[in-house]
Amino acid sequence: MALAGKIVPDESAALRERLNEAAAQIAAVILGKDTEIRLALTALFAGGHLLIEDVPGVGKTTLAKALSRTLGLGFRRIQFTSDLLPADVVGVSIYRPDSGTFDFHPGPIFTSVVLADELNRATPKTQSALLEAMAEAQVSTDGRTLPLPKPFFVIATQNPHDQAGAYPLPESQLDRFLLTISLGLPNREAERHLLRRDAHQEILDNLPPLFDSAAVLAIQQQVAHLHVSDALLDYVQDLLAASRSTGAFRHGLSPRAGLALLAAGRAHAYLAGRDFALPEDIKAVFVALARHRLTPLNEIRDGIGPQLDRLLEDVPVP
């Protein structure tokens, strides 16, 4: 997958060029999903988290593994079930009789890329164990606050709500995710290529790291300082106002959602090789950012996507 755009001739040019290679490497494993891969990278480099909504078996776990291996980041998978406890996520303190002290044994959340698989099958109490970690990149246990590795990126998956044992995530949990994507089924050509592969898992396991944690953090810093014009701020505010006044949603987008929209737009612009964000970047991430934050007033047979598309069409681009 090519990350099109004019490369800015500065000290970050090498990082930007390697991003093209990284995106292509991930796309060689997740076939026919260039847009979804771009949005996953956008969420990571914007410093946010990603929610994947889809049925089992379409490549959600493969995407998480391919991304972590390509970027050279530690990876752990947590299978969320109805009997999973918060200590199974965060960790537990074990008493040592010989010293009369407690030793903390970190849980699987202490890594850079966490795959929270089937998050909406867990109880709200266990889901909430992720809240502080996602918002503050830290966990509190036994009166201590422990920092998580940097970068820290949660990729959560949730099954459709009509499947057995699946429950909607609360709004406070949903708001912690920067973007939501759905991989969907591959097209016929991509599926045929996948069926012909004899060693898919071997290919995934042997992906070479093209980055490391220091490089990812450097990119996140550059993204955070990408230029945003006053005209683009006007456009973002117009989108926020339209979501509140259209009458189609229970609540419009919050100011925090506006900050998230700017962060995602900056990261999208960086992936396009620019040092400034454009309205096109905001439009490219808007649906993925808003779909899990807005609740329609009326049931929509075709989902919320068409309403968000209409909102984008109705708000003029400066």
Q: What is the pLDDT of residue 135?
A: 86
Q: What is the pLDDT along the chain (318 residues), one digit of tens a residue?
A: 545 444 344 556 777 788 989 999 999 888 889 999 999 999 999 999 999 987 777 788 899 999 999 999 999 999 998 899 988 999 888 878 887 777 888 899 999 999 999 988 888 888 888 877 898 888 887 778 889 999 999 999 987 655 555 667 778 788 899 999 988 787 888 778 777 776 567 778 889 999 999 999 999 999 999 999 999 999 999 999 999 998 888 888 999 999 999 999 999 999 999 999 999 999 999 999 999 998 888 766 457 888 899 999 999 998
Using the structure block, give the residue that is written with the tokens 């379409």.
Answer: 58
pTM attached to this predicted model: 0.90
Residue 310: what are its φ and ψ, rounded to 5°?
-65, -40
Q: What is the pLDDT of residue 68?
A: 96
